Structure 1
C-alpha cells in the first residue's frame, strides 16, 4: 500500500536507523564519569513524556556504600538503551545532582508493507516484532528487515531486498514502512552426487525432494532452493542406503553454491557408501527377569541371509517395545547392537531387552496448532500424561503425525519435568492447507473424455474428518459421489466411512446397453499391524438397465395370430421341441425377421431379461485384507502389495452370490534403475440359493486382465445371430503379467518418463447365467465358455506428468478366441489442478 505524502525520507531515515549504540554509550559515559558518588535520590530526569521518572531512576542501582559510581552509571545507561524505549540518553552532573536527559523513541502508528505480492500483509505482520502502538526501536527494525529477507529466501527468492522507511507524524508518532522488492525465484540449476557407485544418480534423484529447474517447474516448488529441504534430503539419502544394506553409509556433506551466471544454486551431495551387508545372524536377548526373548521372535522383520535393512530393524525394535509394554513391562527398552564381519560382508544383530529408567510423562504440550484440535494430535500417541515414558512410542507418534499430512513440519522434543523422574513432551507443529478444490480432466480409450469437479478436506474444521464431494461427466460415464471418513471412530484407531454414489454407464461400441447405479456403503478399516490392514463394508445399491428401443426384441409387437398360434389359457407343450402345440416357429421367424429385431447389434436376451425385471436391489457385506510392503505407494521399486476381497450378497435385496477376488503385485529391482513387476490375479463368483446369476453380476474382463484386448473383449459371448453380440462374462478368471519398467536415461529425471515392456496372459470362462427363456420361447448360443488362454506382448510409456499419471500402451494379442475383440492401442490418464 502507498502513502500519498511522505516527509523526511531518504537521508534522514538512514541516519536515524544507523545510529550506533556504542558511540552513544561512549559519549554518555565520558560525560557521566565525574558524577561519581551521587545518590539515587539526587537524580533528575528530563525529557520523558510516557515513561515515569521513577522507572528511569530504578535503573541506577547504588554500588557498595550506597553510592552511585561510574560502573553503576554505565550499567544503567546500557540497560536504558536495551529497553528500546529511548532514542537517546545523556547523563550529566549539575549542581551536585545527576541529570538524566532522555529522548523517547517515537510510537509506531502503523506498520506498512509495500511491494509484497507473493506474501500477504498479515503473514509478514505476524513475523515482525515491531508492532503498532509500540515504541520504535532501530535495532528491532533492523532485525525485522533481516527476518523478512529470510522468509523470502526460504521461499527461494534470494534476490529479495527490504528497505525500511520511517515517516514522522505529529505527536512523536511515526509510520514504519517496509519496502519489499521480492525479485524472482532462485531455483536449483543442478544436483550432483559424488561418491555413489552402487546407486545411480537417477535413483537418488527419486529419493530426495529437491528438484532441478526445468520447463515444467512452474507447476511445483521442488526446484526452489530451500536449505532445510536440502538438509532433509541428506537424511533421506542416508535412510535409503541403510534400508538397502549399506550400514556404513555417510552423507558427508550437502554443498550449495550460488552461481551468479546461471542465477541459481548448484547442490552437491558427497557420499561414502561403504559395502552392502547381509544379515549373518539375528538374536533377541533379555536382561529382564521373567521376560522370555523367544516370545518376541515373531516381531522380527529380518531373517538370516536377507539384505541388512535399517528401517526393518527400527520397526522390529518398535514392535517388540510395544509388546513388552503390553505384557506389563512399561519401562522396557530395546537396544539394537550390530557386529560387522568385513570379510563375509555380514552383520550379526542382537536386540537386547533391558529395563530402562523409570521416567514418567508429566505433560504433553502441543504448540503451533492454530486450527487442528488438540485431541486430534494427542490421539496419535499411544501414551498419555502419567504413563511411562517410552522413546519408541514417541517416534511412532511422530511418524503418524507426519503421515496425517496436516502439517508442514512436526518435531517432538523432550524437556525436563518438575523432578528427575518426570519429562515433558513438546510437540512443535506448523500447519498447512488441507483443503483441495480440483478440476480434473482425462481421456481413456474405454470411457472417452471425462471431467470431474471435486471439493475435499482432509481435516474438516480441525477435527481430522475427511470429506469429499465430486461430480463426474463424460462421454460414456456420468455420476456423483459424496464421502465422509472418521479416522478415529468411537475413540479407537478404526476408520469409519460413509459413501453415497450414483453412476451411469452409457452404451458404447463395447456394450449395447446402459446401466444406472445409485446407492451407498458404510465401511470400517483398521490396521492389524503396520503392513497388514483390513476393511469390512456393507453396500446397498439399486441397478437398472436401459436399452435403445431399436435393439430390443420386438416379438411383443407381433400379432400372435400372424404366427399361426393362438394361445389358450392352458396350452400343451410339444414333447419333441418343447414349444407349444400349434406354434409355427417358421412363421414366427418370418414375421420377426423384417422388424429389425435380430439386426446386428441387438442386445442379448440376458440384458432384455434385466430390462423386463426392472430395477434390482443388491445388499451385500464384504471385507478386504491388504498386505503392503511397498517402498513407495505412488512409484514403487520394491515390495509386495496383495489384496483379497470377498463379498456376500443376499442380506435382503434381489440377488444372492458369493464373490471372491485376489490381486498381488511384486516389485523388485532387476539392475540399476530397472524395476521388475510380477502380477497375479484371480476371481470366482457363485450364485447362492439355487438361482441363476444375473449376467451383470458376472466378471467382465478386457485390458484389465490382458492388455491388447478391448473392454469386455474377453470371455463368453452371445453368438445367437451368428455374429458376436454382448459379452456375457464369466464366473472364474485368472491373469498373470510380467513387466520391466526402465527410465529413459537420455532424458532428464524431472521429465518423469519411463518405458515398459510386458507380457500378459489370462482367461475368463464359465458363464452361468440364463440361456433359455420359456416365457418368450427364445434361447441363446454361448461361445467361448471354456477356459481358453489369451496372451499378448507389448510396450508402454509411463509419464508421471504435472497433469497427473498418464500411460500409453501398445499391445499385440498372440493368443485369442474367435469372438474376442481386440484393441491394440490404449491410453488413459487425468489431472487435478
Structure 2
C-alpha cells in the first residue's frame, strides 16, 4: 500500500471517531485533514518487529503519544522506517486512540561474497559495496552496490562488466549474498584525433594528455582507460599547454568519445580553435592600496616584453607579488592581471593591479577523492588553515605543490560559500595514482670489466603518508656489489623539514690487486629557503676496508708473472680499515617545469664538505653541477640542454687518501667506464681518482620519428667532455694521468618513459681519450639523474 493511501485510511479513522461525517469525497478529505491536525493518540502498537525490536521502531517515529500529529508526521515516519533499511514494508494506521505500525522485516545479511572477479580483488570490492554482513538485505541498496561495482570496473577500462546477484537462505531470517561478476573484456582507446590544430601536430598534442592510446604495455600503466572526468582534466591540460605557449585565445570547440561495441574500443575526437599566437607587450604594476608602492613590486614580475605569452609566467608573477604584499601586512590584497590585446601587433600588454579585496576567511578545507593518501599529507601543502585570511594565490601555489608531489593523477581546487558571507570553504578534489616504481640500469665495459646490473624499488608515498623509501642493489661480473636503503620523512614533526637517512654498502675487486669494501650511513635534513631553493645538511660516516688479494708478494712482485710493483705502492692500502667522518651542506636550485621530462628551467646544485670529525680523512671538498633546459622547437618537441660540473678537494691534514679524491667516468662522460678516467697506478692501471675535475655536456632530444609520441620514445644526440687530474695521495709519485688532459665523446641514445620509470639506452664513442682510459660504449640507466 502506498504512503498516501495509508495516510488517508488513518485520517479517515480519526475523523469518524471525532463524529465528523463526510458527504462527498472532496469534503471528506478537507474535513479529515482538519481533524488530523488536532488528532492525538494515546499509545503506539508495533507489530511484526521480531528481530529489530519495538523500541527501535518507536525511535524512528515522529509521532508521540499525547502530542498532536499531522499527515506530514505520518509520511516522515514511513520514510524514516524505510530509510533504516531493515523493513521491506511499512503500514501505519489509527485504531481508536492507538497508532498501529505494521512492519515486514528485511532479511539480515549473513555473508557477502564475490564470484568471477579476477581483475579487482575481494578486499577492494568490499570497500566499494555498502551491503555488509549483519546488515539488512535491501534490494535498493544491492542495486546501488551493483552500480558501484560497475563504476569500479569502468575505472580500469572494463565498461562492459556484467553484475548479477544470488541469495541463499541460511535460516533464522538470514541470507548469504553473492555478487556474480562477468568482467568482460577491457575497453581500449583505438585513436585520439584532433581537428582545427595547425601549430602542433596530433602526436604533439596527444603527448600533452594523460589519456593515451592503447599499446602492448597499457595493462601496466592503465593510461588507456576512458573516463569522462579524466577527459575533462585532459581538456584543461590542453588549454594550459596552449595558454603557456602564446595562444591566449585558444578554446576547445568540442570533445567526444565513441565506443565501437564490436571491438570494445573508444575513439576520442577533440576539435580545437587555436587562435593567433601572442607575445607580451608592455608590462606594468599598479596599486590602489595605500602603503603599497607599485615600483617596488616591479622586480618580482617574471613576464617580460617581447617574450612569448605564457599564463604560467603570469601566475608566478601574481603569486610573488601576493606573497610580498601579504608580508607587508595586507593579507586581503588581491592581484588582478589586466590584459590589453593588440591583434595588429600580436601582443598582450599586462598590468598587475593590486587592489584591496573583500575580507574573507577560510572556514574549512575539505579533502575529497583520496583513497590512499592521508588527509594531512594534502593539508600540509597549504600555507593557509582554518580561520586564516583567504588568498587565491596561496591556493594556486598549494595546487602546484600537490601536482609536483606525483601522488595524484589530477588535482582540482574549488571554493564554496561558507556559513557566512565572509566565510569560504576550500574544496580539494584529488585522484590517487600509483607512486611505486621499479628502476633498472645496466652497462657493459667494452674494454674490460664486464656487465654491471642495477635494480631499485622506490615508493614516493609510503602507506599514504607521503614518505619516501628506496631499496637498491647492484652486481657486476667483476665481483662488484652495491646495496642502498634510503628513507625520507618530508615533514618532520609537522615542519617543512625533510629528514632522512641512507644506509649503503659496496664491494669492488680491482684486477686481482685488492678488494675494496665500503659501508656506512648518512643522516640528512633539508630545509626550503624559497620555493625554488633549498639547503641540505648531512653527516656521513663510512668504514672503508682494503684487502690485498695476495697477487703481490712481500717484495711487491706479482706472483707468476713479470709485472713488478714497488713496495711503496702497497702503502696506499695499508692501515685498513679506514674511517671517514664528514659533514656537508648542499644548495639546490630547481625551476624545472617537469622533473621527468623537463622542457624549461634550471637544476643546479652546490656542495661543500669537511672531513675530520674523527676518523682517518682530513679534507675540504667543493663540487657542483648546473643543467639548463630549453625548448628548441615547440612544434617538433625538440628539447635542448647544457650542463657543466666542477669539483676540487684539498687536504687539511698531511695527505689525501685514495677514497678522498674524486672519481668520475661514464655518468659524467658517456663512452667511458665508471672511474674510467683520471690518475691511475702505473703498473695495473687501477684508478686513484683526482683532486680536480671539470665536465660539460650538450644534448638535444626529440620524439622518435614515425613513432606515436604518446609511446614515450625519444631520440637523443649528445656530446660530453671532461677532465680529472691532480693527485695528493701519499707515496703515489709517478702515477699516470695526473696532468690536466681532456676527454670527449659523442653519441646517441633512446629515452623511454616506460611503466617502470624513465629508462635510457646510450651508445657513445670516445673521440678524445688516453691510452689507459677504460671504455664503456653502451650504457643502460635511469633517464634523469640530477
Scaled by the length of structure 2, the TM-score of the pair is 0.83
Structure 1, residues 288-327: CA drift from partner, whole Å, max 9, x if none?
Answer: 1001123323332222222222112212212221222222
Q: Among 642, 645, 655, which residue is 1:682 paired with?
A: 645
Residue matched to 1:580: none
The verdict on how the C-alpha distance between 1:733 and 1:26 changes in structure 2, with shifts beyond 3 A counting, is same
The verdict on how the C-alpha distance between 1:598 and 1:642 changes in structure 2, with shifts beyond 3 A counting, is farther
Superposed, 1:216-295 pairs within 5 Å as 216-295=217-296
The alignment covers a number of residue pairs equal to 752
Q: Tell me if structure 2 keeps the 8 A contact 1:667–1:675.
A: no
Cα distance between partner residues in 2 of 1:500 and 1:640: 29
Residue matched to 1:638: 600
Q: Among 619, 626, 631, which residue is 1:664 paired with?
A: 626
Residue matched to 1:562: none
The verdict on how the C-alpha distance between 1:56 and 1:424 changes in structure 2, with shifts beyond 3 A counting, is closer
Superposed, 1:706-745 pairs within 5 Å as 706-719=669-682, 725-745=685-705
Residue matched to 2:764: 811
Cα distance between partner residues in 1 of 2:404 and 2:553: 56
The verdict on how the C-alpha distance between 1:718 and 1:499 changes in structure 2, with shifts beyond 3 A counting, is closer
Cα distance between partner residues in 2 of 1:67 and 1:743: 75
- Partner secondary structure for residue 671 of structure 2: coil
Matched, 1:789 2:742: yes
Scaled by the length of structure 1, the TM-score of the pair is 0.79
Structure 1, residues 477-530: CA drift from partner, whole Å, max 9, x if none?
Answer: 32433333232235431212222222212225xx95432112222222122222
Structure 1, residues 603-629: CA drift from partner, whole Å, max 9, x if none?
Answer: 787752221232322232222222222
Superposed, 1:392-411 pairs within 5 Å as 392-405=393-406
Residue matched to 2:719: 759
- In structure 1, the gaps of 5 or more residues are 1-20, 557-591, 773-779
The verdict on how the C-alpha distance between 1:539 and 1:598 changes in structure 2, with shifts beyond 3 A counting, is farther
The verdict on how the C-alpha distance between 1:819 and 1:495 changes in structure 2, with shifts beyond 3 A counting, is same
Q: Tell me if structure 2 keeps the 8 A contact 1:638–1:667.
A: yes
Superposed, 1:357-396 pairs within 5 Å as 357-364=358-365, 375-396=376-397
Q: Tell me if structure 2 keeps the 8 A contact 1:731–1:767.
A: yes
Q: Tell me if structure 2 keeps the 8 A contact 1:658–1:688.
A: yes
Shift of 1:415: 4.3
Cα distance between partner residues in 2 of 1:762 and 1:95: 103
Q: Tell me if structure 2 keeps the 8 A contact 1:85–1:105.
A: yes
Cα distance between partner residues in 2 of 1:111 and 1:822: 63
Cα distance between partner residues in 2 of 1:487 and 1:98: 63
The verdict on how the C-alpha distance between 1:750 and 1:726 changes in structure 2, with shifts beyond 3 A counting, is same
Structure 1, residues 220-278: CA drift from partner, whole Å, max 9, x if none?
Answer: 21112222222211111111222222212223333111012321111122222222222
Cα distance between partner residues in 2 of 1:687 and 1:503: 25
Matched, 1:209 2:172: no
Residue matched to 2:16: none
Residue matched to 1:559: none
Structure 1, residues 640-675: CA drift from partner, whole Å, max 9, x if none?
Answer: 222223223334332333322232222223333353
The verdict on how the C-alpha distance between 1:46 and 1:203 changes in structure 2, with shifts beyond 3 A counting, is same
Residue matched to 2:636: 673
Q: Tell me if structure 2 keeps the 8 A contact 1:29–1:74.
A: no
The verdict on how the C-alpha distance between 1:738 and 1:74 changes in structure 2, with shifts beyond 3 A counting, is closer
Cα distance between partner residues in 1 of 2:779 and 2:241: 35
Q: Tell me if structure 2 keeps the 8 A contact 1:406–1:459.
A: no
The verdict on how the C-alpha distance between 1:250 and 1:27 changes in structure 2, with shifts beyond 3 A counting, is same
Shift of 1:107: 4.5
Residue matched to 1:138: 139
Residue matched to 2:555: 555
Superposed, 1:147-546 pairs within 5 Å as 147-167=148-168, 170=171, 173-364=174-365, 375-405=376-406, 412-427=413-428, 442-445=442-445, 448-450=451-453, 452=455, 458-459=461-462, 464-475=466-477, 476-507=479-510, 512-546=513-547
Matched, 1:612 2:574: yes
- Partner secondary structure for residue 482 of structure 1: strand
The verdict on how the C-alpha distance between 1:830 and 1:715 changes in structure 2, with shifts beyond 3 A counting, is closer
Q: Tell me if structure 2 keeps the 8 A contact 1:760–1:791.
A: yes
Shift of 1:553: 5.9
Shift of 1:128: 3.6
- Partner secondary structure for residue 118 of structure 1: coil
Cα distance between partner residues in 1 of 2:195 and 2:394: 36
Structure 1, residues 683-706: CA drift from partner, whole Å, max 9, x if none?
Answer: 242423463333433333333343
Q: Tell me if structure 2 keeps the 8 A contact 1:214–1:750.
A: no
Cα distance between partner residues in 1 of 2:204 and 2:496: 35
Matched, 1:647 2:609: yes
Matched, 1:704 2:707: no
Q: Tell me if structure 2 keeps the 8 A contact 1:708–1:823.
A: yes
Shift of 1:90: 7.5
- In structure 2, the gaps of 5 or more residues are 13-23
Q: Tell me if structure 1 keeps the 8 A contact 2:438–2:756.
A: no
The verdict on how the C-alpha distance between 1:604 and 1:710 changes in structure 2, with shifts beyond 3 A counting, is farther
Residue matched to 1:581: none
Q: Tell me if structure 1 keeps the 8 A contact 2:571–2:731.
A: no
Q: Tell me if structure 2 keeps the 8 A contact 1:59–1:80.
A: no
The verdict on how the C-alpha distance between 1:144 and 1:349 changes in structure 2, with shifts beyond 3 A counting, is same
Cα distance between partner residues in 1 of 2:216 and 2:437: 25
Cα distance between partner residues in 2 of 1:727 and 1:517: 16
Cα distance between partner residues in 1 of 2:681 and 2:85: 90
Structure 1, residues 539-570: CA drift from partner, whole Å, max 9, x if none?
Answer: 221222234321x36327xxxxxxxxxxxxxx
- Partner secondary structure for residue 350 of structure 2: strand
Shift of 1:160: 0.7
Cα distance between partner residues in 2 of 1:678 and 1:408: 27
Residue matched to 2:21: none
- Partner secondary structure for residue 200 of structure 2: coil
The verdict on how the C-alpha distance between 1:457 and 1:162 changes in structure 2, with shifts beyond 3 A counting, is same
- Partner secondary structure for residue 253 of structure 2: strand
CA root-mean-square deviation: 4.2
The verdict on how the C-alpha distance between 1:688 and 1:452 changes in structure 2, with shifts beyond 3 A counting, is same
Q: Among 559, 583, 595, which residue is 1:621 paired with?
A: 583
The verdict on how the C-alpha distance between 1:327 and 1:78 changes in structure 2, with shifts beyond 3 A counting, is closer
Structure 1, residues 342-378: CA drift from partner, whole Å, max 9, x if none?
Answer: 2222111111111121122344455677876665444
Q: Tell me if structure 2 keeps the 8 A contact 1:553–1:598.
A: no
Q: Tell me if structure 1 keeps the 8 A contact 2:489–2:500.
A: yes
Q: Tell me if structure 2 keeps the 8 A contact 1:792–1:813.
A: yes
Cα distance between partner residues in 1 of 2:279 and 2:217: 41
Cα distance between partner residues in 2 of 1:257 and 1:156: 14
Structure 1, residues 450-482: CA drift from partner, whole Å, max 9, x if none?
Answer: 35475757346x654444455544434324333
Cα distance between partner residues in 2 of 1:96 and 1:784: 110
Residue matched to 1:693: 656
Q: Tell me if structure 1 keeps the 8 A contact 2:279–2:309.
A: yes
Farther-moved stretch of structure 1 (525-534 vs 511-520): 511-520
The verdict on how the C-alpha distance between 1:423 and 1:733 changes in structure 2, with shifts beyond 3 A counting, is same
The verdict on how the C-alpha distance between 1:405 and 1:828 changes in structure 2, with shifts beyond 3 A counting, is closer
